[in-house]
Amino acid sequence: MLGIEMKLSSLFALVALMAFAHQVVAQDSSCGDIPVEPVIVDGATATMEQLVANSREVNAYIAEADLFLDCSEARYKRLSASRIHKERVAEEVKLVTERRNEIGEEFNAQVASYQAANPQ
């Protein structure tokens, strides 16, 4: 009887270990979805209120992108030597970094357009 109890105890420990390992892998497998890009207003036709609201959207996007990038870069460092997985994460980091910078630049260009259309 002791042998069966020992086997059951070992089986329960193995199941618990597998469940824990699955959680760790699941937590490490993704940093969530790539942040949704905001639509940038046309500065030449936007109102100040629209520009301010758009600024909030752009700032929120940049903050979400930064969190995504921090997580992805940490994930990249944790990945094993699997080149396929590392390449995919590196591509996501590159894409999000480029888009984050482009959106910031595009918004700044629209602010300049607003200022040109609304001289003070």
Number of domains in the chain: 2
Residue 49 has pLDDT above 70, yes or no: yes
Q: Residue 11 and residue 5: Cα distance in Å, rounded? A: 10
> pLDDT-based confidence at 103, cuts 50/70/90?
very high
Q: What percent of the chain has pLDDT over 90?
A: 59
Considering the domain architecture, whether residues 14 and 42 belong to the same structural domain is answered as: no
Q: Residue 13 and residue 63: Cα distance in Å, rounded? A: 41
Residue 42 has pLDDT above 90, yes or no: yes
Considering the domain architecture, whether residues 91 and 52 belong to the same structural domain is answered as: yes
- Distances 30 to 11, 19, 56, 96 between C-alpha atoms, Å: 29, 18, 26, 15
pLDDT given at position 20: 43
Range of lowest pLDDT (12-16, 71-75, 79-83, 93-97): 12-16
Considering the domain architecture, whether residues 18 and 58 belong to the same structural domain is answered as: no
Considering the domain architecture, whether residues 17 and 67 belong to the same structural domain is answered as: no
| Residue 13, domain extent | 1-30
Considering the domain architecture, whether residues 51 and 72 belong to the same structural domain is answered as: yes
Considering the domain architecture, whether residues 9 and 67 belong to the same structural domain is answered as: no
pLDDT given at position 24: 39
